[in-house]
Structure 1
């Protein structure tokens, strides 16, 4: 069964498949915690800590996240980003930080607005990997990281997340729906916990969820 997220019908379908989806997420999260060094996310945590106090991310923060995400720095957008004044980068990221931390907006609405703002910077206009890392550093308790492994895992769970504009907002809606229907599963899970479980699933081929 394929389902499209970001709608009431998608939420209903997640409710119907919730147990089997969580049945795959829980062991995947355990595998991630068992095999990934507890020090790996120190860079993300340090950038998030600086962002908490500064209210913005500068070029050095974005560069650290490029390394953390293991993205290539030998691209045109890196040259374009480095050519910008740090004050300009901080002005854009400050607006994005405010957006994703705005609790008057739902998680998905905040994600959509933050993603729209951050697209003003080179490297974040297309694709959501780096942009999602920046937004997660800006609001680690609300946002989550997206990449191709996560996309692969979403498909293996029987969910649909299309590449159409607004994907990051729909992705956060998907995670919100999963959290909403996860009451019978371990307490204290965040959107970030789900994204690490999805990452682990996507990095290691899994059997597809039953139709």
Structure 2
């Protein structure tokens, strides 16, 4: 069995850390890792962070954040039930990107 998505994200982050410009922050690294493995990885940026903050999901900036982000996406997908059927982590990061960037309010009830 392969490694979890979070473990793969942490390993990939560790590899690109060696490249110039990749030592701090997860935005550029997540974009490169997602381009390398689009079916497995997802992009993390300030808009995604804003959406997560709005929804009450803590994702501190401490080392290992990208792996924790991937774990959070997996958790969200696994708890999404039938509504998340067929969704990928890329679908979810795209949704979070739009939510975080457009100042949308997340409805608490319908």
1:181 pairs with 2:79: yes
Structure 1 residue aligned with 2:101:
203
Q: Structure 2: 5+ residue runs without aligned partners?
A: none
**CA 1:189–1:208 in 2, change beyond 3 Å: closer, same or farther?**
closer
Q: Once superposed, what is the RMSD of the aligned Cα atoms?
A: 1.3
Structure 2 residue aligned with 1:65:
none
1:153 pairs with 2:51: yes
Check conservation: 2:77, 2:84, Cα contact below 8 A.
no
Once residues 84 and 106 of structure 2 are traced to their aligned partners in structure 1, the CA distance between those partners, rounded to angstroms, is 22
Q: How far apart are 1:183 and its partner, in Å?
A: 1.9
Structure 2 residue aligned with 1:122:
20
| Runs of 4+ residues over 6 Å off in structure 1 | none
Once residues 72 and 91 of structure 2 are traced to their aligned partners in structure 1, the CA distance between those partners, rounded to angstroms, is 13
Q: Structure 1: 5+ residue runs without aligned partners?
A: 1-102
TM value normalised by structure 2: 0.92
1:169 pairs with 2:62: no
Once residues 109 and 118 of structure 1 are traced to their aligned partners in structure 2, the CA distance between those partners, rounded to angstroms, is 14
Q: How many residues of Structure 1 are paired with residues of Structure 2 in the alignment? A: 108
3-state SS of the aligned residue for 2:90?
A: helix
Once residues 123 and 106 of structure 1 are traced to their aligned partners in structure 2, the CA distance between those partners, rounded to angstroms, is 26
Once residues 52 and 28 of structure 2 are traced to their aligned partners in structure 1, the CA distance between those partners, rounded to angstroms, is 19
Check conservation: 1:157, 1:209, Cα contact below 8 A.
no
**CA 1:172–1:186 in 2, change beyond 3 Å: closer, same or farther?**
closer
3-state SS of the aligned residue for 1:206?
A: coil
Q: How far apart are 1:158 and its partner, in Å?
A: 1.1
Structure 1 residue aligned with 2:35:
137
Q: How far apart are 1:208 and its partner, in Å?
A: 5.0
